[in-house]
Structure 1
Amino acid sequence: MSRRAHSIEIFGEVVGPSCHKTFNIPIGQLYTHTDIAIPVQVVNGKSGGPVLLICAAIHGDELNGVEVVRRVLSAPWLKNLRGTLIAVPMVNVLGIIQRSRYLPDRRDLNRCFPGSEKGSLGGRIANLFVQEILSKSQYAIDLHTGAIHRSNMPQIRVHLENEQAAQLAQAFGVPLVIDAPIRDGSLRGAGDDLGIPIITYEAGEALRFDESAISAGVKGVRNVMTHLNMLPPRKTGKQKPPSFVAKSSSWVRAPADGLFRIKLQLGDRVSRGDVVGIIDGPLGGSEIPVLAPFAGIVIGNTNLPLVNEGEALLHIARFEDIDDVETVVDEFRQEFDGIY
Structure 2
Amino acid sequence: MSRSKNSLEIFGERIEAGTQKTFHIPIGQLYTQTNISIPVQVVNGKAPGPVLLICAAIHGDELNGVEVTRRVISAPWIKSLKGTLIAVPMVNVLGVIHRSRYLPDRRDLNRCFPGSEEGSLGGRIAHLFVQEILGKCQYAIDLHTGAIHRSNMPQIRVHLENTKAADMAHAFGLPLIIDAPIRDGSLRGAGDDLGIPIITYEAGEALRFDEPAIIAGVKGVRNVMTHLNMLPPRRNPKKETNNTFVAKSSAWVRAPADGLFRSHLKLGDRVVRGELLGIIDGPLGGSETPVKAPFGGIVIGATNLPLVNLGEALLHVGRFDDIEDVETVVDEFRQEVDMMPVELS
The bucket for the TM-score relative to the shorter chain is over 0.9
- In the TM superposition, 1:1-340 aligns within 5 A as 5-235=5-235, 236-337=237-338
SS in 1 for 2:49: strand
Gaps spanning 5+ residues in structure 1: where? none
Aligned length: 337
Aligned partners of 1:58, 1:247: CA distance in 2, in Å?
25
- Deviation of 1:247 after TM superposition, in Å, equals 2.4
- Deviation of 1:336 after TM superposition, in Å, equals 1.2
Aligned partners of 2:8, 2:165: CA distance in 1, in Å?
23
Aligned partners of 2:317, 2:3: CA distance in 1, in Å?
45
Aligned partners of 1:294, 1:262: CA distance in 2, in Å?
17
User: How has the CA–CA distance of structure 1 residues 3 and 257 changed in structure 2, closer, same or farther, with 3 Å as cutoff?
Assistant: closer
Counterpart of 1:292, as a letter, is: A
Deviation by residue 1:172-205 (Cα, 9 ceiling, x = unmatched): 0111000110100000000000000000000000
Counterpart of 1:313, as a letter, is: L
Contact 2:3/2:51 (8 A) holds in 1: no
Deviation by residue 1:135-187 (Cα, 9 ceiling, x = unmatched): 00000000000000000000000000100000000000111000110100000
Provide runs of 4+ in structure 1 moved above 6 Å: none
SS in 2 for 1:169: helix
Deviation by residue 1:241-285 (Cα, 9 ceiling, x = unmatched): 221101211000000000000110000011111111100001101
Contact 1:8/1:14 (8 A) holds in 2: yes
SS in 2 for 1:216: helix
User: How has the CA–CA distance of structure 1 residues 67 and 237 changed in structure 2, closer, same or farther, with 3 Å as cutoff?
Assistant: closer
- Deviation of 1:240 after TM superposition, in Å, equals 4.6
TM-score of the aligned structures, taking structure 2 as reference length: 0.96
Contact 1:61/1:99 (8 A) holds in 2: yes
Deviation by residue 1:80-111 (Cα, 9 ceiling, x = unmatched): 00000000000000000000000000000000
Counterpart of 2:72, as a letter, is: V
Contact 2:3/2:50 (8 A) holds in 1: no
Aligned partners of 2:137, 2:198: CA distance in 1, in Å?
10
Identical-pair percentage: 81
Deviation by residue 1:10-42 (Cα, 9 ceiling, x = unmatched): 111211100001111111111111111100000
Contact 1:5/1:83 (8 A) holds in 2: no
Contact 1:5/1:45 (8 A) holds in 2: no
Aligned partners of 1:298, 1:217: CA distance in 2, in Å?
19
Aligned partners of 1:94, 1:329: CA distance in 2, in Å?
36
The CA RMSD measured in Å over matched residues stands at 1.2
- Deviation of 1:237 after TM superposition, in Å, equals 4.8
